[in-house]
């Protein structure tokens, strides 16, 4: 995974000091809330129903054991002992005190993490397939592209005050686990007939109050032109995106009103103007970044092991977990191990500090110190030897992390809803818990088969209810909570 250089670290440290002074001025009364709000939002700090909420960026869903331990430490020292993993591969702390948020950011900076650009009208955390680099069917590792885009977009002077928030996702696989068609820009890695790498560029997707599937404006963009093409898209959006109506400010509305063909024409015109003078990433810099994502030192192992097969035969619970929560790995003898954060009756996406520590320990011992955050609000150990799966499962089981429900009806995606969020019009968490408890029997879940249930507590759709097999949207009707039901959604179709 990517490691900060001196420039990266200096930038993050400077932002911590800047925000520390801003908080001091707010607490002293030099800044009122109206003046402070845009400053705190630029640093991922929201004001929710009961307290502030801090959203921590986990770029393309990849973090180290050391970083996970830091999150656990923050949960204990500054919060109520837990964190909430989101559908955009971030982590939220729901109870920080304003005066302590600069210290939290300083602790994050110590492990090369931050919270800026996790809110506000800027380019948000770049997301990617949680199985990047290990999926059997992968064309190329999307994390390299995601890191390039992250570096380009971080504090970009032209795109820090866009008409509205802007989200980018990258995938290098089919199926699409990054939901690229419901992002402002979605990039699908492609290889053309000449064997060259490039991208299908999809623009204008999104959920919320106006769900729209993104449209392809370029079937194949050569890799070397990625940044200049993204620059062109953002420039056109920045120029013509509406700033007079927050509900019509997203790029999806711009494209809907202007027309996809006309928007693409304007992007191409802008791109032809700047591509010869724009600074695209040099090949050697791409290779430098790519080196951080080289495969770890795998052992040469057979694709099957007699001892592993025997353990599955002898232990039905272990067998269920292997069948439900692990996937084939591109390296022989290894598996992708999914860690469900959806215990029966639990809160989707929540992990206690102790559970974070356990996952960090397992990653360090069995997965080259690497952890992934899934869009479905689960965690992933991406590099586990098959012969180590039993030890991993035993430890997970001791800490309520071994529910074998990946993709089943109790693997529910849910936003925090009205228990925390000031925008929510209904509760999500109790509904998710009720459904989970109702279908607690594992045999019953498997008889039903794969079925996604996504719950949003308001029309902003943070629970991605539009793309669930069953989507539940909480609404307020004369002071009472009701739920709209949608059927047949998917993020992996066009």
Among the listed residues 38, 182, 48, the one whose alpha carbon sits nearest the alpha carbon of residue 121: 38
Element (H, E) at 202: strand 197-203
Give the pLDDT mean for 272-297: 89
Cβ–Cβ under 8 Å, residues 93 and 79: yes
Cα 206 to its chain centre, rounded Å, is 15
Two tokens at 101? 């948020």
> What confidence score (pLDDT) does residue 280 get?
76
Two tokens at 372? 């992934």
> For residue range 215-272, what is the model confidence (pLDDT) as tens digits?
999 999 999 999 999 999 999 999 999 999 999 999 999 999 999 999 999 999 999 9
For the chain, give every domain's residue range: 6-110, 142-291, 306-398, 413-487
CATH topology of domain 306-398: Sulfite Reductase Hemoprotein; domain 2 (3.90.480)
**Domain at 413-487: CATH code:** 3.30.413.10
SS3 250: coil
DSSP string, 375-438: TTS-EEEEEEEGGGHHHHHHHHHHTT-----TTSTTS-EE--GGGT-SS-SS-SHHHHHHHHHH
- Judge whether residue 285 has pLDDT over 60: yes
- Judge whether residue 494 has pLDDT over 60: no
> For residue range 12-63, what is the model confidence (pLDDT) as tens digits?
999 999 999 999 999 999 999 999 999 999 999 999 999 999 999 999 999 9
Looking at residue 123, the DSSP 8-state letter turns out to be: B
- Judge whether residue 492 has pLDDT over 90: no
What is the spatial distance between Cα 304 and Cα 309, in angstroms, rounded to a whole number? Answer: 8
Contacts 24+ apart (CB under 8 A), 146-152: 146/59, 146/60, 146/170, 147/2, 147/59, 147/60, 147/289, 147/292, 147/293, 148/226, 148/227, 148/281, 148/286, 148/289, 149/226, 149/227, 149/230, 150/59, 150/60, 150/126, 151/289, 152/227, 152/230, 152/281
Element (H, E) at 69: helix 65-78
**Domain at 6-110: CATH code:** 3.90.480.20
* Confidence category of residue 277, pLDDT binned at 50, 70, 90: confident
Q: Report which of residues 111 and 282 the model is more confident about.
A: 111
- Judge whether residue 114 has pLDDT over 70: yes
Peptide bond into 296 cis (omega under 30): no
Pick the CATH number of 142-291 from 3.40.50.2300, 1.10.10.10, 3.30.1330.10, 3.30.413.10: 3.30.413.10
- Judge whether residue 434 has pLDDT over 90: yes
Among the listed residues 53, 130, 135, the one whose alpha carbon sits nearest the alpha carbon of residue 89: 130
> What confidence score (pLDDT) does residue 74 get?
99
What is the spatial distance between Cα 26 and Cα 316, in angstroms, rounded to a whole number? Answer: 57
Cβ–Cβ under 8 Å, residues 135 and 330: yes
Instruction: Indicate whether this model's pTM tops 0.95.
Output: yes
> What confidence score (pLDDT) does residue 418 get?
96
> For residue range 36-46, what is the model confidence (pLDDT) as tens digits?
999 999 999 99
Question: What φ, ψ does residue 298 adopt, rounded to 5°?
Answer: -65, 155
**306-398 and 142-291 share a CATH fold:** no
What is the spatial distance between Cα 260 and Cα 258, in angstroms, rounded to a whole number? Answer: 7
> What confidence score (pLDDT) does residue 281 get?
75
Q: Tell me how crowded residue 143 is: count the other CB atoms within 10 A of its CB.
A: 27
Among the listed residues 185, 165, 164, the one whose alpha carbon sits nearest the alpha carbon of residue 242: 164
What is the spatial distance between Cα 51 and Cα 94, in angstroms, rounded to a whole number? Answer: 7
């Amino acid at each position: 995974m990517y490691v900060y250089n001196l420039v990266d670290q200096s930038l993050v440290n400077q932002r911590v000091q800047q925000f520390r002074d801003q908080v001091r001025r707010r607490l002293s009364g030099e800044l009122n809330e109206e003046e402070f709000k845009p400053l705190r939002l630029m640093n991922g700090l929201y004001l929710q129903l009961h307290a502030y909420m801090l959203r921590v960026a986990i770029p393309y869903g990849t973090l180290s054991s050391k970083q996970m331990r830091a999150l656990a430490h923050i949960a204990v020292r500054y919060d109520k002992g837990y964190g909430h993993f989101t559908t955009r591969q971030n982590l939220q702390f729901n109870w920080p005190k304003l005066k302590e948020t600069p210290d939290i950011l300083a602790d994050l900076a110590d492990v090369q993490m931050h919270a800026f650009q996790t809110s506000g009208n800027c380019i948000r955390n770049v997301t990617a397939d949680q199985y990047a680099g290990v999926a059997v069917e992968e064309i190329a590792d999307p994390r390299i592209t995601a890191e390039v885009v992250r570096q380009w977009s971080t504090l970009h002077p032209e795109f820090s005050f866009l008409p509205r928030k802007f989200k980018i996702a990258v995938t290098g696989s089919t199926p699409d686990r990054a939901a690229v068609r419901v992002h402002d820009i979605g990039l699908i890695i492609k290889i053309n007939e000449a064997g060259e790498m490039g991208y299908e560029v999809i623009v204008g997707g999104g959920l919320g109050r106006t769900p729209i599937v993104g449209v392809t404006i370029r079937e194949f963009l050569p890799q070397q032109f990625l940044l200049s093409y993204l620059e062109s898209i953002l420039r056109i959006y920045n120029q013509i995106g509406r700033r007079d109506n927050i509900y019509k400010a997203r790029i999806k509305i711009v494209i809907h009103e202007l027309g996809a063909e006309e928007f693409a024409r304007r992007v191409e015109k802008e791109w032809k103007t700047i591509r010869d003078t724009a600074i695209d990433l040099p090949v050697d810099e791409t290779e430098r970044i790519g080196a951080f994502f080289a495969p770890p030192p795998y052992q040469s192992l057979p694709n099957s092991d007699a001892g592993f097969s025997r353990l599955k035969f002898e232990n039905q619970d272990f067998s269920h977990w292997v069948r439900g929560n692990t996937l084939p790995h591109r390296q022989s003898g290894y598996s992708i191990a999914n860690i469900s954060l959806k215990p029966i009756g639990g809160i989707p996406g929540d992990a206690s500090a102790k559970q974070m520590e356990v996952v960090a320990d397992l990653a360090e011992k069995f997965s080259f110190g690497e952890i992934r955050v899934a869009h479905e609000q689960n965690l992933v150990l991406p590099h586990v030897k098959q012969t180590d799966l039993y030890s991993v499962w035993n430890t997970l089981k001791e800490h309520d992390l071994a529910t074998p429900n990946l993709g089943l009806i109790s693997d529910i995606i849910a936003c925090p809803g009205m228990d925390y969020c000031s925008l929510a019009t209904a509760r999500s968490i109790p509904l998710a818990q009720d459904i989970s408890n109702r279908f607690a029997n594992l045999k019953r879940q498997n008889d039903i088969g794969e079925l996604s249930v996504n719950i949003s507590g308001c029309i902003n759709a943070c629970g991605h209810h539009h793309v669930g097999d069953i989507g539940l949207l909480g609404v307020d009707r004369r002071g009472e909570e009701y739920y709209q039901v949608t059927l047949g959604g998917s993020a992996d179709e066009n």
